[in-house]
Structure 1
């Protein structure tokens, strides 16, 4: 039977000219492959099973053994590609040995300019599941799983291997969350701040150290961070089945996801392969066994290059490794309100019939194309969700997917009529004066890297040149980069800032308002900003409200109140209302906490941090749940919940060993994973928080209570069901 999960043959092209195995009906429509081959294919075979929209194709850049289990990648200024490998990730169905320090970051080079990597060195070895890479100048910043430390590595003798390691951010607290629920990113944005996911912090690199800046809320996001030419950040959240989020305002100003960002149609995905190995089980499958909704969404990427068709520029790509596909979304900006729409009708930009195709990361390349990291493996779900008794385990074993690992491919997305640039960057060797010239480059990668190097060098000799660009550069983007570069160097004066605030181009004005936040204590700057409260452009006004959000002056408060009153239906007013509600909720929580003893207060406070870092991703920051597509929730709401306020032993068992199956007659697409690897105090803290906040009021749970239940249930290997817990009660 033919279902809606097909793609029109006329708009799908295979990535090579060789004969493919795709099946079509009499009209030429591609049929879903319901019995795909599970055996790993060679890179050449795998390419034949990847289908793209008309005119596009993939080129193989690297494959095993050069790369294995690639999860993220980044270029340095000389065009060398650093690839993080999670070599221990799910090497069997139980994740045996996953935490062993044997993972690597490799450095790949194309030495002959043919577009394929031909030289590889192990830049760093003996790592624990590396997850963040940020090349600076000759140094590369790296973050590992379970650690909050961030180190700088450098190769000083030119052999391609790091021989100097320095701690640039020190935090001895171990991150004990599941590896899928820890921060990623470490992305240098236009504002010279460095952003991560799942952590209420961003950084600046100052005097060879990462200096943290605490955010008012965790930004969420899970694997990867994207940003556009103007510094707008994009996140997504696999744990919450959320393909894109928090793109209306910078994470510095708090979470904000207004209604209408996208609809049900956008959240539906269209694989060309049966996808029974999805954690959500039958609720996430169509009748033909294809994935019906985003689940494992990763790596949001805005295309910012110059060697793919112009209509792709500014579009958002989203990887969906569970569905073996990559979504292309059109980004529509209507007076500051951003909406997303699938670029194709019930089709995807890239899709494969290979069960081992697992696109997990994408990146803009120096050559103006897009690079794709394919983890190429059978299992894409961590061991907490493949335990005995889980839905996934028999599906994986049935197809033998647990045997498919230790491979990996990196592809380049190109167009039939647009080949990548042959110019190899040598930005690390350029003078500062030459770097300034790259702020006008049509490829965003070059502009970003030039700005980053100039900020790191702080070469005062180029300040006059940069100041001149702010005033005279033909392109608004060049003026914006020059403005932020001067600010990052500590060389922006008020006169030049005021000039930018009076720019004709609204995007320059908007960025100037953003920059002005760093002058927040200056009364002259505040007075100048006040003059923009009736700016002709709604995005400038929105940014003005955000820039004044944390300014405690009477003037700032009056400007915000004026704009909210005059523009009550604007995105500005919606954002401010959300922020005001957050402040009110926290004040109420503080009043409740004041009634607790010091010991109880400590537990609740620690639990609040854990909840916001981990639990809020599925249960919502207010405990009211996250609606998936407007129809179903990802996980049950905890606010005013009878079970939360009820038997504490039941709650302890759930956190120690996890929960599966229906809850109050409702089936959710995900399980509650076991958190028993964490300490008794950790479990007690988070439970005490949810029982004393989110509209709940019950006794705190003490660490000794958790210890007792842990001992009583020490032999348990499977998740609980609510039926089992009720029977035990």
Structure 2
């Protein structure tokens, strides 16, 4: 008996030792004492405030409105009048914050004065290190709703609404105001669409390309200019763009009620989506703690307890990559839902190379508020290793297209007086009990050799910005140190480089034009799978030259234990036309015939190649018709696909009718289709009710509407549903929509303010 007792005691002690070792291995010393509190999550049950006040709260009152897991709390970084209507922010290398403000956004329910150039970018500074901004200046004035900002060296890149052009601004005399402006990217034409459907981003990714949403381009920064690289299958997403530690991009499509998309492969390789990338029944529903009457989807979007039941406005996402919050948060996907007044936390799960998103909580949200004016629109990992939240803090969050007369939303806004709540804004910092935020950087003042050491930093913000700054400086004297680091050698570092340090060293060499084959061949044998994957990715210029030595080394990765490595191998090998590369590809596909990820990647590659060649139908068209359809395709894939699916067959969420099935009769009814785009569509479609209306697109030009409908009718509609394709003028006149036809329909219905219904449009006689 006594012997048994001591055996039990020893086993218990050993188990405790193992658990302790596992905790210490995966957490920092600062964090380990708080790990138990972090795992406890919420300490009280979720309840719903059924009588929230629509009146604005003070910043102090707002801070009391939040529900967070145990140990977390929000701190106020800045508020009105220092910031008003903030939508995006960025930091320079010295940790100064630049805030883009859309100060004319929805100042009335009728969008009065929205396109007046009176918006600003503010420069905020924390001079005493307490985490709260205490110094501000108007860095740029008289802008048209600035929407994208990125610091590069001593300059701030800015894009405004309604234009593709991007300018760099610089403060040369240190007074906090930009006094130099130069163009870094020029298109010179107006950007179409309402402001909700225009680009966001300017995200400098690990691969040294700068990505945006909506537009089918990415940029490289060369000699102070942005050089566009076409994404032949289009870009992705709407408001919000982020990347993880390994260069995986995360988009979202608010219009399609999709809180995550585009994260399977880089868009340069095409588009790849899986219907089960998240389980809509568990990931799609949202769990506010506030009654939510101001929803554009109407009563069908409300639960019996009057809360929003599903994502309608997912935006402003980020992958947390800091080092001053619990380790369990690192790598998690955070996305806002401003209509629900919540921020979702999702686990990013890799299942044999396929990425899925899973809500971290059961019928709970990471951050939720009872402040009716809490409108989170962006999140970021900050220089101090904490999470930052941009809150527009306003009554109306939907753009004017959804607040028009006759909409469900308009009377809710007016009843609650939400249109009066404006010209405020908050920036919050999420901190955790017992973990002190990190120090502010001084990168712009430091030598390049010091920046190299930051590539090994535990905070992803520091690694990213050190990489960017080293590349922009073009300081070749640090190349030897970068090579040592990439090879895993300590060199001039104080510690051996981590896997993330080696990864950033590789990409910094690539961005500096200093990568060499010896480094890549060694990296392909690195113990870390993500370093091996990066080496394959970076080897693409060698593959284009059919380098035999590189291809031979890649052959050894066919059965790599990591699906991510195998996936990248398949993606990169397409750039070689050598027999050896083709054989490796065939073997790779044969070995992974049952892999949903690799077979999906191969289909995406093939489809991308078809797009490059215009496809069978487009290849025979005259230049003008082809241009019209291709212009429409760009718009469709970046805007319409969010609800109708990229192939027009609808989405798993069934947010809108599939165009190539239920809309067959409309495909034959050109006039009816024009009317839908001009004034929108509401109510059941062929007996089926959908959760949202088709918003009117009549604010766009006649040529824009004609191009979208021409693409839908030619590429998704009649010509692909049993009708022979032809390039004859008669056939094209029947199928394609001309701008003058849109103009005629617009004039005929000039006084209409109501959405069309399917029943009304059925009465329009179809073309024979």
Bucket of the pairwise TM-score, normalised by the shorter protein: over 0.9
Q: Residue in 2 aligned with 1:279?
A: 296
Q: Residue in 2 aligned with 1:370?
A: 387
Question: Contact (CA 8 Å) 1:589, 1:693: kept in 2 or not?
Answer: no
Partner residue of 2:755 out of 694, 699, 719:
719
Task: Tell me how far apart the structure 1 counterparts of residues 189 and 539 of structure 2 sit (CA, whole Å).
Answer: 35
Q: Residue in 2 aligned with 1:665?
A: 687
How far has the Cα of 1:596 moved from its partner? 4.7
Q: Residue in 2 aligned with 1:516?
A: 539
Task: Tell me how far apart the structure 1 counterparts of residues 505 and 145 of structure 2 sit (CA, whole Å).
Answer: 37
Task: Tell me how far apart the structure 2 counterparts of residues 274 and 44 of structure 1 sit (CA, whole Å).
Answer: 22
Question: Contact (CA 8 Å) 2:718, 2:735: kept in 1 or not?
Answer: no
Partner residue of 1:467 out of 483, 507, 524:
483
TM-score relative to the length of structure 2: 0.88
Question: Contact (CA 8 Å) 2:354, 2:597: kept in 1 or not?
Answer: no
Q: Residue in 2 aligned with 1:682?
A: 704
Name the SS of the counterpart of 1:464 in structure 2.
Answer: helix
Task: Tell me how far apart the structure 2 counterparts of residues 456 and 598 of structure 1 sit (CA, whole Å).
Answer: 40
Question: Contact (CA 8 Å) 1:201, 1:214: kept in 2 or not?
Answer: yes
Q: Residue in 2 aligned with 1:648?
A: 670
1:226-625 alignment runs, 5 A limit: 226-263=242-279, 264-421=281-438, 423-471=439-487, 472=489, 473-522=496-545, 523-524=547-548, 525-579=550-604, 582-583=607-608, 586=611, 590-594=615-619, 596=621, 599-625=624-650
Shift in CA distance, 446/127, structure 1 to aligned 2, threshold 3 Å: same
What's the CA shift string for 1:292-345, capped at 9, x where partnerless?
111111122111111111111111111111100011111222332222221111
How far has the Cα of 1:550 moved from its partner? 4.0
Task: Tell me how far apart the structure 2 counterparts of residues 248 and 118 of structure 1 sit (CA, whole Å).
Answer: 41
How far has the Cα of 1:48 moved from its partner? 0.9
Shift in CA distance, 599/318, structure 1 to aligned 2, threshold 3 Å: closer
CA-atom RMSD, angstroms?
Answer: 1.8
What's the CA shift string for 1:364-416, capped at 9, x where partnerless?
11111001111101111000011111111111111111111110000100011
What's the CA shift string for 1:639-689, capped at 9, x where partnerless?
243233222111111111222222212222222222222222222221111
How far has the Cα of 1:222 moved from its partner? 1.3
Task: Tell me how far apart the structure 1 counterparts of residues 437 and 628 of structure 2 sit (CA, whole Å).
Answer: 55
Shift in CA distance, 158/366, structure 1 to aligned 2, threshold 3 Å: same
Name the SS of the counterpart of 2:68 in structure 1.
Answer: strand
TM-score relative to the length of structure 1: 0.93
Task: Tell me how far apart the structure 2 counterparts of residues 386 and 624 of structure 1 sit (CA, whole Å).
Answer: 28
Question: Contact (CA 8 Å) 1:147, 1:174: kept in 2 or not?
Answer: yes
Q: Residue in 1 aligned with 2:726?
A: none
Larger deviation: 495-504 or 582-591?
A: 582-591
Question: Contact (CA 8 Å) 1:322, 1:380: kept in 2 or not?
Answer: yes
Task: Tell me how far apart the structure 2 counterparts of residues 451 and 208 of structure 1 sit (CA, whole Å).
Answer: 16
How far has the Cα of 1:111 moved from its partner? 0.6
Question: Contact (CA 8 Å) 2:217, 2:234: kept in 1 or not?
Answer: yes
Larger deviation: 307-316 or 671-680?
A: 671-680
Shift in CA distance, 178/643, structure 1 to aligned 2, threshold 3 Å: farther
How far has the Cα of 1:583 moved from its partner? 4.9
How far has the Cα of 1:231 moved from its partner? 1.2
Q: Residue in 1 aligned with 2:735?
A: 699
Work out the number of aligned pairs and report it.
701
Q: Residue in 1 aligned with 2:16?
A: none
Task: Tell me how far apart the structure 1 counterparts of residues 415 and 625 of structure 2 sit (CA, whole Å).
Answer: 48
Task: Tell me how far apart the structure 1 counterparts of residues 435 and 605 of structure 2 sit (CA, whole Å).
Answer: 49
Shift in CA distance, 583/43, structure 1 to aligned 2, threshold 3 Å: closer
Question: Contact (CA 8 Å) 1:176, 1:677: kept in 2 or not?
Answer: no
How far has the Cα of 1:585 moved from its partner? 6.7
Question: Contact (CA 8 Å) 1:280, 1:668: kept in 2 or not?
Answer: no
Task: Tell me how far apart the structure 1 counterparts of residues 98 and 622 of structure 2 sit (CA, whole Å).
Answer: 50
Task: Tell me how far apart the structure 2 counterparts of residues 360 and 565 of structure 1 sit (CA, whole Å).
Answer: 45
Task: Tell me how far apart the structure 2 counterparts of residues 237 and 343 of structure 1 sit (CA, whole Å).
Answer: 21
What's the CA shift string for 1:582-606, capped at 9, x where partnerless?
2587599733335555554443233
Question: Contact (CA 8 Å) 1:243, 1:267: kept in 2 or not?
Answer: yes
Question: Contact (CA 8 Å) 1:644, 1:696: kept in 2 or not?
Answer: no
1:93-242 alignment runs, 5 A limit: 93-242=109-258
Shift in CA distance, 373/583, structure 1 to aligned 2, threshold 3 Å: closer
Q: Unpaired runs of 5+ in structure 2?
A: 1-39, 490-495, 720-733
Question: Contact (CA 8 Å) 1:545, 1:572: kept in 2 or not?
Answer: no
Task: Tell me how far apart the structure 1 counterparts of residues 449 and 608 of structure 2 sit (CA, whole Å).
Answer: 46
Question: Contact (CA 8 Å) 1:564, 1:572: kept in 2 or not?
Answer: no
Larger deviation: 691-700 or 356-365?
A: 691-700
How far has the Cα of 1:47 moved from its partner? 1.0
Structure 1 runs of 4+ with >4 Å offset: 583-589, 594-599
Higher Rg: 2
How far has the Cα of 1:518 moved from its partner? 3.3
Partner residue of 1:710 out of 746, 753, 757:
746
Task: Tell me how far apart the structure 2 counterparts of residues 204 and 587 of structure 1 sit (CA, whole Å).
Answer: 21
Name the SS of the counterpart of 1:518 in structure 2.
Answer: helix
